[in-house]
Amino acid sequence: MRLKLVTTTSLVALSLFGAAQGGEINQDGANKLRDSLTKVLPDDFAKSGFVTVNPAGNRYEIIYDLAKLLGKVDPTKVVVNGLTPWSVFATPLDSGLWKLEGNNSFNISGNFKGPDDKATDFTYSIASMVYDGVFDPAIAYLRSGNFKATDIRVTSKSEMDQVEATFAGMDYRLNSTDSASGNGRLDFKANGSLSKLSETVTSPQMPPVNIKADSIDFNANVASLPAKEIRDIVFFILDHVDEKELSKEDGEKLKSVLKASFPLFSSIDESITANNLMVGTAAGSGGAKAFGYNFSIAGPSDAVRFAFGMSAADVTLDTPVVPASYHAFLPKSIDMQIAVPDMDFAAFGDEFMKIDFSAGSNSEESGKQAAEKLFHDGVLVVDLPKFTAVSDVYDIDVTGKLQGRVDTQKDYSVQASVLARDLDKSIAAIQELAKSDPNLQQVSFGMMMAKGFAKTDPDGRSRWDISVAGDGSVAINGQQIKGPDAEEPDQSEDQGQEPEQEQEQGQEPAQPQ
């Protein structure tokens, strides 16, 4: 029998049960729901009794007793203590959706052995987890949900390291709406926060590292998601997970469900911010009032833009590793944004559909050809729309663009603009530091030369517009400071001269017949 293990939550299996739409709540309906929840599992797991369903007024109570499920696991490899039954209440709605509710807690401990046969001890506990949501069987996912947890604790200890982490609480919210693009697609929005993070990591090779943050906030949005088609892809994978190679028929079926899902979304963005972040080690401590990252993918399918960024505000560092005389040069704030525009996922998708998924290694080569279609004419562009760094002695702003080909490292060009506020203040700080560190005298000299090339913007900042051409020439503010690279010898011309060299050595050329 083919193994069909669902690694996501058991809620996915509710998509197989849609017969109780606003009907009477009874034991017969409870049995049908139980059977649907265990249908995707191997027979010995399904018959273990770890899932029971009972009528509970106007809803069903689903009880998961994972201790029974773990009875099938090798006790020499995995041991879990403290498992107690977990309840989820499911109410069928007239719309065909399900309202889910729960209020649980758990406190477990145990150990497991990895492939190297070394043991890891662990504990996981949540004092309270309260949640409610609306589940849509048509997409095998939640249409909305609210989750709140308190007093979260995690520990892990092995020969290599030990990790202890706590959170005071977690809030998470999910919502969805019908997408303006139609075709049954959905827009999802999720946001939430973790409060009072404290994590300590230790190992035999290093002293403890402690990480703390008042909160970690996150936001995510996905527009025009083909949720039904993604459900079909997931179920297809689960149904064929044990097959080393797909049949021709199954390969064509996979293409069909993949094609129906293109494009996977019209846009996606995510941001995570740690507030009042502090990191402490034996060598010192540091932190930031806010430290975050963000990424986004957007644009038409033949001109997709991928963007990524990181930022830190009110950065502090207290460590003897950095001498006090250098503290003024440490950045107080940093903001960096990088983007790769104009990726052609439409052409990628067209080429991807040509892959024969039943062809084994040949499909890998086809996949590479599809990846090459991502960039128009093989041209890769990397944008730097923003890079700023500010300290007590400098204020730098950089923007630019790098353009090159995916099939060579030689043919590339760079356009960049560098702006610096209070340049004289920066030079004076370097010159003062050079009195005690002679190695910085060369840096001071270089900055004075750079000042000579600079232009002055209306706001007083010094500007350098830098251009590196494909031939290797470099210009700053329109003034060429380096010429083109020397051309490499043409190998074919060298080879063509060999017969002449042979003649010079006394060899007669062949006579025509």
Strand pairing class (379-390; 333-343): antiparallel
Q: Is the peptide bond before 263 cis (omega within 30 degrees of 0)?
A: yes
Name the pLDDT band for 504 (thresholds 50, 70, 90).
Answer: very low
- Digit-coded pLDDT (tens) for 359-371: 555 556 665 676 6
Q: What is the pLDDT of residue 167?
A: 96
pLDDT at 510 over 90: no
HSE (CB half, 13 Å, CA atoms) of 480? 7
Compute the distance between CA of residue 105 and CA of residue 122 in angstroms, rounded to an integer. Answer: 17
More confident residue, 366 or 75: 75
* Other CB atoms within 10 A of residue 254 CB: 19
Q: What is the pLDDT of residue 18?
A: 44
Compute the distance between CA of residue 332 and CA of residue 33 in angstroms, rounded to an integer. Answer: 58
Task: Report the share of the chain in percent with pLDDT over 90.
Answer: 53
pLDDT at 460 over 50: yes
pLDDT at 374 over 90: no
- Digit-coded pLDDT (tens) for 415-459: 999 999 999 999 999 999 999 888 888 999 999 999 999 999 999
More confident residue, 410 or 94: 94
Q: What is the pLDDT of residue 363?
A: 56
- Digit-coded pLDDT (tens) for 200-223: 999 888 889 999 999 999 999 999
| Across 324-332, average pLDDT | 91
More confident residue, 346 or 362: 346
Compute the distance between CA of residue 186 and CA of residue 138 in angstroms, rounded to an integer. Answer: 12
Mean pLDDT computed over every residue of the chain: 85
Quote the pTM value: 0.83
- Digit-coded pLDDT (tens) for 283-306: 899 999 999 999 999 988 889 999
Q: What is the pLDDT of residue 381?
A: 94
More confident residue, 437 or 244: 437
Name the pLDDT band for 238 (thresholds 50, 70, 90).
Answer: confident
Compute the distance between CA of residue 350 and CA of residue 258 in angstroms, rounded to an integer. Answer: 11
Name the pLDDT band for 15 (thresholds 50, 70, 90).
Answer: very low
Nearest to 104 by CA among 78, 77, 132: 132
